[in-house]
Chain A
């Protein structure tokens, strides 16, 4: 169920501008509202796209978030592939 919760958080953040604002301004507090493992909390706190992808988060919850955060698509792909831009 935990991966489900990670994806639910990202769905909310991508979809609702208020949740995105909270993701930027009080990420730790927001993350605490979901039932997550320690590793999931870390990956979300650090916005570790590669770990999130590797734990099974759907790629279309990650790509649009990267764009909203100002990361270029080639840089986003480089991160997923383990090549830090």
Chain B
């Protein structure tokens, strides 16, 4: 078995775009949690990092909006929204061979598209920047944005298929889901945060009960967690891949100045699984 880490973290552009705008007591736990995540990433000694990130108009428009798309290139670049997130644009190594193997495995159960020319926005680049991660990345972009995003339970099916495929590999893989939790992104309601929703979701995520969120009604999700709440899809995929593993919350802060209920968490993949 080769899944050696299952992480999830918010990617609010404000974390790097407006680092000093919140009170230090709000922002510091998030920066510390990302440092903690960085140590755990290093300790897991992965060969490759699979990043599950929402789309934010970096690649796809309404003429063709895939539910799931894997980047199968050997090189990517980002962030496309560098001023929004205040991170300089750079190139990121991919791993086309492993990405193609991942597609072939997943496609047995879940349909997905592939892209040889993918751009990264803050969803991928902000976590990579804070983790100072230089290892090869396989991106899986999930539509949480517009059109008709895949139902939540299909994101779970994606995670199950990911795990089944990875388990056949000798390579060590860390899975990182990015996004959420509640937020009303770049809109008049920005700053509103669904703390109650976030805590209930984290409780399910950390305690092997993600199934309780797989049929959460769309209208209820948007009312309680904002349009950005759709990004729990990436967390659901990670939880599914971790197959019921319990986890630890490294930080949760509702940060108004970053317009986001910010969370950083890990699921404990058993030592036996390594």
Contacts and interface: CB of A to CB of B under 8 A. Distances in A.
Looking at B80, B186, B188, the one whose CB has the most chain A CB atoms below 10 A away is B186
Contacts of A34: none
Contacts of B84: 63-64, 67-68
The SS class assigned to the B binding surface is loop
A35 B190 CA distance: 31
Interface string B184-218: 01111011000000000000000000000000000
Interface residues of A, number: 24
Interface stretch (B55-63, B134-142, B156-164): B55-63
B76 to A, nearest CB: 14
Nearest to B227: A59
Interface in B1-24: 14, 17-18, 21
Interface in B116-162: 119, 145-146
A43 B269 CA distance: 51
B32 interface: no
A61 B63 CA distance: 15
B81 A14 contact: yes
B56 A60 contact: yes
A74 B191 CA distance: 11
Interface in A38-79: 53, 58-64, 66-68, 70, 73-74, 76-77
B83 interface: yes
B17 A7 contact: no
Given A7-B62, A67-B17, A14 B57 contact: yes
A85 B227 CA distance: 26
A59 B62 contact: no
Contacts of A4: 62
Given A63-B186, A80-B188, 12 more contacts: A11-B61, A59-B227, A60-B57, A60-B186, A62-B186, A63-B185, A64-B81, A67-B83, A67-B84, A73-B14, A73-B186, A77-B186
8 contacts: A53-B188, A59-B185, A59-B186, A63-B84, A64-B81, A70-B83, A77-B188, A80-B187
Q: 9 closest A-B pairs (Cβ-Cβ)?
A: A63-B186, A67-B84, A64-B84, A59-B187, A59-B186, A64-B81, A67-B83, A68-B83, A11-B61
Interface of A: 4, 7-8, 11, 14-15, 53, 58-64, 66-68, 70, 73-74, 76-77, 80-81
